[in-house]
Amino acid sequence: MLWIAILSIVGCAVLCGLQAKIGLPGLMLAVAGDDSDMKIVPPSGTEPSQEDAGEKAAQEFVLQKENGNINKAYALGKRIACVFFEENGPVATCCEISLQPVVRLQRKILFAFVEDAVLNATLPSVLAETASQEFSAQVQQTDPSLYEKINDSKTLSYYLLCAKNGRERFQNIGEAFALLCGEEENAHLCSLGDQLYQKYSQLCSNMIEETAFC
C-alpha cells in the first residue's frame, strides 16, 4: 500500500501549499503514516474559549470590587441618571433650550447613547457595563416609557451607523439627530445635534474623571 501513503503525503502537501498561498488561517494537518495517525492542530493565535473568557471576566470583577471600583461604577451610573432627569439640567439646556417635545425627547435619547459610548471608550469593560446597567436600571424605574424609547433598536441604529472607530469616534451625529427629530434637512438641528454630542461627551467624561477610579 505504498502508493496510498504517497498519495496521502502528496495530498497533504498540496493542501498546505494552497493554504499558505491564499493565506488561510484555518486548521493545519499533521500526517504521520496512514490516515489513522492524522491529527488536527489548532492554528496559533486561537481565541480563548468562552469559558476562559468568562473566567477572566469574573476575576476582573473580583479585582475591581476589592479595590472599590465596582461601587464607584454603581455610584457613577446613578449620578449620570440624576443628571439625565434633572429638570433644568444640562441634558435639557446644553447649547440652547428646546421647547418642542420631539426635540427634547431626542436630546435625551442622544444623551443616553453618548453616555454608553463614552463609558465603553473610557473605562474597562466591567466598570463600563456596571455603570451603564445602573444608569439603565434607574431610567427604567423612573420612566419605563422613556426607557423603551432610548433602547429602541431602530432609533439606536441611526447613531450606530455614525460609528467611525468602534465607540470612540462618530461622524454625522448631527444629521442623525435631525433625522430622528423629523427634519432631516434642517441645518439648525444638524448643528445642534453635533454640538450636543460634543457637550454630552465632555459632560460624561468629566463625571468619569471626578469619580476617581483606582
Q: Report residue 211 as a C-alpha cell.
A: 469619580
Instruction: Confirm if 103 and 94 have CB atoms less than 8 A apart.
Output: no
Terminal-to-terminal C-alpha distance of the chain: 68
Q: Which domain covers residue 90, as residue numbers?
A: 67-211
- Both 85 and 125 in a single domain? yes
Q: What is the count of structural domains for the chain?
A: 2
Model pLDDT for residues 17-76, shown as the tens digit of each residue: 434 433 434 333 333 444 444 444 445 555 666 667 677 778 888 888 889 999 999 999
Share of the chain above pLDDT 90, in %: 56
Residue 164, H or E segment: strand 163-165
Considering the domain boundaries, does residue 190 fall inside one? yes
For residues 113 and 116, give the distance between their C-alpha atoms in angstroms, rounded to a whole number.
Answer: 5
Model pLDDT for residues 110-140, shown as the tens digit of each residue: 999 999 999 999 999 999 999 999 999 999 9
Considering the domain boundaries, does residue 146 fall inside one? yes
Instruction: Confirm if 110 and 192 have CB atoms less than 8 A apart.
Output: no
Instruction: Confirm if 170 and 117 have CB atoms less than 8 A apart.
Output: yes
Considering the domain boundaries, does residue 60 fall inside one? no
- Both 14 and 86 in a single domain? no
pTM: 0.72
Residue 48, H or E segment: none
- Both 108 and 22 in a single domain? no
Considering the domain boundaries, does residue 145 fall inside one? yes
- Phi, psi dihedral angles at 52 (to 5 degrees): -65, -40
- Both 85 and 35 in a single domain? no
Classify 23 as helix, strand or coil: coil
- Both 26 and 102 in a single domain? no
- Both 149 and 71 in a single domain? yes
Considering the domain boundaries, does residue 55 fall inside one? no
Considering the domain boundaries, does residue 48 fall inside one? no
8-state DSSP, 172: -
Chain centroid to Cα 164, Å, comes to 13
Classify 28 as helix, strand or coil: strand
- Both 31 and 71 in a single domain? no
